[in-house]
């Protein structure tokens, strides 16, 4: 796999407009051998704990003293870390559920718990400071997350928290302006990748509350994000790929997921090292593929595996996903809308780009055999036969040929009933591999995109059915545990969700947002 090292980010000092010098060096570069030893010796069960720690003194002194002290008899690595770092705070330490509250009241109260005020830079911290307040998902997710935030905003809007949505969109525009893209989250170790590009969808949501002038306000940020996703497109020859862009043999341009870093994910360092060793593949290739899946937000799923079963066969960057390209269709459409409002003649160009992308999604990702949108492997020139909720995104966004989309909707509804529909909603995939983005798990963002897509293509009864199943499952777990979870077991509603690199998390931003939206949209009873 040919590798590229764009002038991006990995070690960089930036002076931001709100008066702070930010060091964007990730923890593995700051702490060197200490970092590797902590992660590989599993000082903390969750690898994300150490990368979120804040040093109690200058990082250079901590590293220097470590090199001296580690050779002494009886040296205790965990004690050294605890003596020199502040551990990240846990949501559970500061909030207790009032189980007498109905779930809607609980969520309204929880926004204040999940809220973070504007940040300040701390030397040695991995946090990238943001100038406006924001909502975090909860649990181990102590920072803002890109695609999570759109689904959180659905609930914030239902709660009347429009200014919070505005602040969060401004934060994302700030990240685009200062880093060239929205990273996975506001951490230095996330700078190599973005996440599913929901920024323009957030802008549309905010515009629905504050008026279409919002499109003009965030036009520069949308244009810059678009440039990030399309970087290198003009220079590609047929059959080539660069970063997030692929030029197919026919000359057509579509996008894939990618990550610019070539080391293990800092927050999952040990897991990635062991996976690469187990695979027998080139370790840098493995790190790139694991990171690309992390950019998709679907980390991990059989969707990305060559054999549909095992993580060691991952090949994310070979695939052109319909969901990613549907989001970029929306971005092109939103830029066109904003340009048109400014009487800019290039508006027509972006509208043509969107129309063409919609045609290409149909050309490469509509699987006539499966009657569903699936990933396209541009290296093998074959479509995947994996059925996942990712295939519903085109129905959420594509504006052209509505009659045709309605016709396809009848087909996909039958596929969903047969392959994804479960007692608690829709499963993340058909297959149970032990990965968290596979069956039997369901996730709020996938439920919403499936429901939205079905509703938009005329399959309103199935959309309402899935909404009811998901809401009842969320409320059942809340009544039994007092918690709203990151993910749920939709196949056996009496069991917890599983899989993944960490235990189940509660809080939880996108679950809260989607639940409030569905309760309101479908007039479902709150319990």
Summarised one tens digit per residue, pLDDT across range 361-377 is 999 999 999 999 999 99
Give, in degrees to the nearest 5, the angle at Cα 379 between 378 and 385. 60
* b/e code 272-289 from CB counts within 10 Å (16+ = b): bbebbeebebebebbbbb
C-alpha–C-alpha distance, residues 453 and 446, integer Å = 10
pLDDT at 11 over 50: no
C-alpha–C-alpha distance, residues 120 and 127, integer Å = 9
Residue 373's nearest CA partner among 397, 398, 394, 350 is 394
Q: What is the mean pLDDT of residues 98-127?
A: 93
Q: What is the mean pLDDT of residues 432-441?
A: 98
Q: What is the mean pLDDT of residues 209-235?
A: 98
* b/e code 190-205 from CB counts within 10 Å (16+ = b): bbbbbbbbbbbbbbbb
User: What is residue 501's predicted lDDT score, i.e. its pLDDT?
Assistant: 87
Q: What are φ and ψ of residue 199, in 5° steps?
A: -55, -45
User: What is residue 174's predicted lDDT score, i.e. its pLDDT?
Assistant: 98
Half-sphere exposure for 413 (CA within 13 Å, toward CB): 22
Catalytic residues: 299, 486
By the 10 Å C-beta count (0-12 exposed, 13-18 middle, 19+ buried), 77 is classed as middle
pLDDT at 116 over 60: yes
Q: What is the mean pLDDT of residues 319-342?
A: 98
What is the reported pTM? Answer: 0.95
User: What is residue 20's predicted lDDT score, i.e. its pLDDT?
Assistant: 60
Q: What is the mean pLDDT of residues 38-54?
A: 98
Inter-residue contact 28 to 36 (CB < 8 Å)? yes
Q: What is the mean pLDDT of residues 296-320?
A: 98
Q: What is the mean pLDDT of residues 37-54?
A: 98
pLDDT at 1 over 50: no
User: What is residue 403's predicted lDDT score, i.e. its pLDDT?
Assistant: 87
Q: What is the mean pLDDT of residues 235-256?
A: 96
- pLDDT bracket for residue 7 (50, 70, 90): very low
Q: What is the mean pLDDT of residues 294-317?
A: 98
Q: What is the mean pLDDT of residues 174-200?
A: 98
Give the number of other CB atoms < 10 A from CB of residue 38.
26
Q: What is the mean pLDDT of residues 485-512?
A: 95
Q: What is the mean pLDDT of residues 274-282?
A: 98
> Which DSSP symbol is given to 286?
H
Q: What is the mean pLDDT of residues 134-144?
A: 97
pLDDT at 92 over 70: no
pLDDT at 437 over 90: yes
Q: Is the peptide bond before 440 cis (omega within 30 degrees of 0)?
A: yes
pLDDT at 406 over 50: yes
User: What is residue 4's predicted lDDT score, i.e. its pLDDT?
Assistant: 44
pLDDT at 82 over 70: yes
Q: What is the mean pLDDT of residues 236-251?
A: 96
- pLDDT bracket for residue 138 (50, 70, 90): very high
C-alpha–C-alpha distance, residues 182 and 228, integer Å = 9
User: What is residue 480's predicted lDDT score, i.e. its pLDDT?
Assistant: 95
CA-to-CA dists, residue 378 to 281, 320, 362, angstroms:
21, 7, 15
User: What is residue 68's predicted lDDT score, i.e. its pLDDT?
Assistant: 96
C-alpha–C-alpha distance, residues 485 and 473, integer Å = 11
Q: What is the mean pLDDT of residues 64-73?
A: 96
User: What is residue 18's predicted lDDT score, i.e. its pLDDT?
Assistant: 57
Which H/E stretch holds residue 62? helix 59-69
Q: What is the percent of the chain with per-residue pLDDT over 70, rounded to a whole number?
A: 94
- pLDDT bracket for residue 16 (50, 70, 90): low
Condensed to tens digits (0 to 9), the pLDDT of residues 257-269 reads: 999 999 999 999 9
Q: Is the peptide bond before 91 cis (omega within 30 degrees of 0)?
A: no
pLDDT at 21 over 70: no
By the 10 Å C-beta count (0-12 exposed, 13-18 middle, 19+ buried), 64 is classed as exposed
Contacts of 488 (CB under 8 A, 6+ apart): 424, 425, 441, 442, 443, 473, 474, 477, 497
pLDDT at 93 over 70: no
CA-to-CA dists, residue 523 to 103, 105, 249, 446, angstroms:
14, 16, 49, 20
CA-to-CA dists, residue 489 to 300, 387, 503, angstroms:
16, 18, 14
By the 10 Å C-beta count (0-12 exposed, 13-18 middle, 19+ buried), 83 is classed as exposed
Mean pLDDT for all residues in the chain: 94
519: left (phi over 0), alpha (psi -120 to 50) or beta: alpha
Give, in degrees to the nearest 5, the angle at Cα 323 between 321 and 325. 70
């Amino acid at each position: 796999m040919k590798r590229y090292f764009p002038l991006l980010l990995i070690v960089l000092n930036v002076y931001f407009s709100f008066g702070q010098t930010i060091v964007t060096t990730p923890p593995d570069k700051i702490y060197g051998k200490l970092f590797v030893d902590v992660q590989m010796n599993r000082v903390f069960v969750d690898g994300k704990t150490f990368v979120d720690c804040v040093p109690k003194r200058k990082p250079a002194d901590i590293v220097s003293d470590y090199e001296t002290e580690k050779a002494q008899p009886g040296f205790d690595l965990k004690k050294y870390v605890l003596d020199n770092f502040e551990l990240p705070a846990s949501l559970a330490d500061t909030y207790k559920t009032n189980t007498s509250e109905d779930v809607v009241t609980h969520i309204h109260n929880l926004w204040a718990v999940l809220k973070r005020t504007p940040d300040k830079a701390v030397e040695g911290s991995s946090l990238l400071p943001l100038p406006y307040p924001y909502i975090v998902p909860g649990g181990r997710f102590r920072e803002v997350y890109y695609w999570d935030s759109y689904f959180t905003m659905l609930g914030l809007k239902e709660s009347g928290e429009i200014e919070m949505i505005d602040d969060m969109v401004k934060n994302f525009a700030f990240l685009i302006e200062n880093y060239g893209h929205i990273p996975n989250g506001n951490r230095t170790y996330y700078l190599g990748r973005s996440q599913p590009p929901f920024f323009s969808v957030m802008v549309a949501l905010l515009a629905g509350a504050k008026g279409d002038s919002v499109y003009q306000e965030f036009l520069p940020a949308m244009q810059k994000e678009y440039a990030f996703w399309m970087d290198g497109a003009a220079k590609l020859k047929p059959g080539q790929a660069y970063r997030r862009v692929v030029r197919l043999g026919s000359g057509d341009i579509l996008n894939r997921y990618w990550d610019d870093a070539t080391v293990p994910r800092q927050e999952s360092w040990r897991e990635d090292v062991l996976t690469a060793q187990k695979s027998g593949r080139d370790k840098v290739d493995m790190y790139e593929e694991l990171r690309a899946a992390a950019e998709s937000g679907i980390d991990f799923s059989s969707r990305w595996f060559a054999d549909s079963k095992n993580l060691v066969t991952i090949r994310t960057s070979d695939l052109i996903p319909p969901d990613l390209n549907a989001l970029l269709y929306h971005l092109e459409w939103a830029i066109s809308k904003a340009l048109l409002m400014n009487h800019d003649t290039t508006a027509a160009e972006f509208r043509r780009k969107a129309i063409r992308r919609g045609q290409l999604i149909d050309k490469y990702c509509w699987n006539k055999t499966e009657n569903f949108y699936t990933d396209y492997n541009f290296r093998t020139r074959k479509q995947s036969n994996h059925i996942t909720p990712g295939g519903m995104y085109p129905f959420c966004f594509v504006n052209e040929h509505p009659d045709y989309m309605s016709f396809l909707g009848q087909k996909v509804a039958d596929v969903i009933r047969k392959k994804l529909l479960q007692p608690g909603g829709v499963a993340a995939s058909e297959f149970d591999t032990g990965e968290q983005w596979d069956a039997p798990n369901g996730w709020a963002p996938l439920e919403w995109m499936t429901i939205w897509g079905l509703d938009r293509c005329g399959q309103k009864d199935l959309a309402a059915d899935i909404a009811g199943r998901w809401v009842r499952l969320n409320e059942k777990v809340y009544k039994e545990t007092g918690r709203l979870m990151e993910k749920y077991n939709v196949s056996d509603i009496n069991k917890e969700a599983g899989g993944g690199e960490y235990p189940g998390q509660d809080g939880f931003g996108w679950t809260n947002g989607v639940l409030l939206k569905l309760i309101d949209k479908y007039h479902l009873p709150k319990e």
